[in-house]
A and B are shown apart, each in its own frame.
Chain A
Amino acid sequence: KAGVTQTPRYLIKTRGQQVTLSCSPISGHRSVSWYQQTPGQGLQFLFEYFSETQRNKGNFPGRFSGRQFSNSRSEMNVSTLELGDSALYLCASSVRGGLSSYNEQFFGPGTRLTVL
Chain B
Amino acid sequence: AQSVTQPDIHITVSEGASLELRCNYSYGATPYLFWYVQSPGQGLQLLLKYFSGDTLVQGIKGFEAEFKRSQSSFNLRKPSVHWSDAAEYFCAVGAQAGTALIFGKGTTLSVSS
Contacts and interface: CB of A to CB of B under 8 A. Distances in A.
B98 A99 contact: yes
Main secondary structure of the interface of A (DSSP, over half): strand
B75 to A, nearest CB: 19
Interface string A2-25: 001000000000000000000000
Contacts, number: 64
A64 interface: no
A83 interface: no
A33 B100 contact: yes
Given A104-B46, A105-B46, A107-B45, A45 B101 contact: yes
B11 interface: no
Interface in A61-116: 90, 92, 94, 97-101, 104-110
Nearest to B49: A101
A99 B105 contact: no
B28 interface: no
Interface centre among B36, B42, B52, B103 (most CB of A within 10 A): B103
Interface centre among A42, A44, A92 (most CB of B within 10 A): A42
Given A99-B95, A100-B51, A101-B49, A45 B43 contact: no
B98 A48 contact: yes
Given A43-B90, A99-B32, A58 B100 contact: yes
Nearest to A112: B41
Contacts of B42: 109
A110 B36 CA distance: 15
Interface of B: 32, 36, 41-46, 49, 51-52, 90, 92, 94-106
